[in-house]
A = this chain, B = another copy of it.
Amino acid sequence: MRYKINVMSYHKKQEFKSDEIKASEIAKALSHPARISILKFLAQQKSCICNDIVEHLPLSQSTVSQHLKELKNVGLIQGEIDGPRVCYCIDKENWKKAKAIMIELFDMNLAPIKIKCC
């Protein structure tokens, strides 16, 4: 095959379509069981106090804090200072948007036409 000439670089992500980047960012936020667990915990609203989340996970407080930060950065949760604590909760608006993006991805038209194999 004709070899592609590629410039030595390590960040190619920006060369993709913005909707593909967006979907991948949502997926990345969900790509660690701790973050899935945090979201489930918040959805069940057993509590939204940060420390309760920490107690719920087999991870140190600082590690949990980092996972919370990632979920916050991608917009899936919100944090609100409540006296000495921080109350986290799912950002329902962004959650819906994320859901729509992922569903659109999974609803891709799986054409039943057999081209070669498949």
Q: Which residues on the B side are within 8 Å of A48 (C-beta)?
A: 115-118
Contact B109 A43 (CB under 8 A): yes
Give A14-64 interface residues, CB cut-off 8 Å to B: 15-17, 20-21, 23-24, 27-37, 39-40, 43-45, 47-49, 51, 54, 58-61
Contact A60 B4 (CB under 8 A): yes
Q: Mask for A95-107, Cβ within 8 A of B = 1, else 0?
A: 1001100110111
Q: Which residues on the B side are within 8 Å of A92 (C-beta)?
A: 110
Q: Which residues on the B side are within 8 Å of A58 (C-beta)?
A: 12, 15-16
Which of A's residues lie within 8 Å of B, judged by CB? 1, 3-4, 6, 12-13, 15-17, 20-21, 23-24, 27-37, 39-40, 43-45, 47-49, 51, 54, 58-61, 78, 80, 82, 87, 89-90, 92, 95, 98-99, 102-103, 105-111, 113, 115-118
